[in-house]
């Protein structure tokens, strides 16, 4: 379903465990199916790395420019586990 040009790279997927691969494909498919047709989104590898870290209970810091997808990184865990409670701290200044 996910176009090859949007899918995570083979090199990235090869670096993951089988469980992580399954989690990555689940969140990619979920994100792809929930986005507006014509503007289909699949998480970038840095977003997937951040998601995997959060799913393991690790803290993470992401340095990335404007418009690169940091907000999606914050939303992915909410989509992945809608029964949990999340607090997002995002100091802008």
Give 28-65 pLDDT, tens digit per residue. Answer: 998 999 888 778 899 999 999 988 988 888 887 888 88
Asked whether residue 87 is assigned to any structural domain, the reply reads no
Number of domains in the chain: 1
Q: Give pTM, 2 decimals.
A: 0.82
Q: What is the pLDDT of residues 15-25, one digit of tens each?
A: 999 999 999 99
- Domain membership of residue 76 as a residue range: 4-80
Asked if pLDDT for residue 66 goes beyond 90, the answer is: no
Which of 80, 30, 15, 90 has the alpha carbon at shortest distance from 54?
Answer: 80
Asked whether residue 15 is assigned to any structural domain, the reply reads yes
The structure tokens 């379903």 sit at: 1
Report the mean per-residue pLDDT for the chain. Answer: 87
Asked whether residue 89 is assigned to any structural domain, the reply reads no
Asked whether residue 39 is assigned to any structural domain, the reply reads yes
Long-range pairs of 29-33 with CB within 8 A, sequence gap ≥ 24: 29/1, 29/2, 30/79, 30/80, 31/72, 31/76, 31/79, 32/1, 32/2, 32/6, 33/1
Asked whether residue 90 is assigned to any structural domain, the reply reads no
């Amino acid at each position: 379903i996910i176009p090859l040009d949007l899918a995570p790279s083979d090199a990235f997927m090869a670096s993951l465990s089988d469980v992580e691969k399954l989690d990555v494909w689940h969140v990619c498919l979920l994100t792809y199916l929930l986005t507006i047709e014509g503007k289909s989104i699949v998480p970038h590898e840095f977003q997937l790395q951040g998601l995997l870290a959060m799913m393991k209970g690790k803290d993470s810091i992401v340095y990335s420019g404007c418009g690169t997808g940091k907000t999606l990184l914050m939303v992915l865990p909410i989509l992945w586990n809608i029964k949990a409670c999340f607090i997002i701290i995002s100091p802008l200044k």
